[in-house]
Amino acid sequence: MILAEMRLFMSKAGALDSSWQQVLGDELNQPYMRQLREFLAMEKAAGKVIFPPGPFIFNAFNHTPFEQVRVVIIGQDPYHGPGQAHGLSFSVQSGTRIPPSLANIFKEMEADLGIRMSGSGDLTPWADQGVLLLNATLTVEQARAGSHQKKGWERFTDTVIQRLNEQRDGLVFVLWGSYAQKKGAMIDQNKHLVLKSVHPSPLSAHRGFFGQKPFSRINQYLVSRGQPPIQWQL
């Protein structure tokens, strides 16, 4: 099932947004991507539960077409618990308990903008405004964090970042934590705004995440370029 879903999303006739098909089309047929599809098919055939569900694997791309990207927030792995991951970094499906890192993101947003969130952790409204919520690895096995790392996804998402960096101007890249900062090392800071801090995880947030005011800084930059600000309220 997941193999068929992957083929659907990666084919020209599939659900992957047409703008991303044009930008990434050559990458989708690379040998490493074929190997990745085979790996996912074997995992599924072995009875393993993979998150997010197949239709959500490319959710970030389908909610945020290439030419509409304004902000990129880079995460690492999808959440690996039931009902959580739905293809957007840091986001969880509606009705799911808000994870600690996302709770800290909301806490910083309230301090920065005075916004009190509704209690939903579904960040789809951000994605629909041009915030690409990009995980480095797009799938994971249930209850096994990092289980699909180094299978090919990182190369794919490196290409996404590279092409955004090269083909777009004036984007905001948000790099929380050392992993995201290493992944974003290729970004041209003469063309784009790059915001860096420690990760919002409870293990590190008090060492430099809180007080950075990333959300107001993003909006100030967008407005300075004649764009509407992101409406962060959920």
Helix H segments across the chain? 2-10, 18-28, 31-45, 59-63, 100-113, 124-127, 153-167, 178-183, 214-224
CA distances from 43 to 47, 137, 222, 228 (A): 7, 16, 42, 43
Nearest to 129 by CA among 14, 15, 233: 233
| DSSP H helix total and E strand total for the chain | 9, 6
* DSSP for residue 194: E
Q: Tell me if residue 17 is catalytic.
A: no
Q: Structure tokens of 200?
A: 């919002």
CA 27/CA 38 separation, integer angstroms:
16
Question: Residue 179, CB half-sphere, CA atoms under 13 Å: how many?
Answer: 14
Give bridge partners of residue 196 from the DSSP assignment.
Answer: 175
Long-range (24+ apart) CB contacts under 8 A made by 220-225 are: 221/172, 221/193, 222/70, 222/71, 222/172, 225/170
Out of 17, 77, 112, 122, the active site residue is 77
Q: Structure tokens of 63?
A: 């909610």
Q: Point out the residues that are catalytic.
A: 77
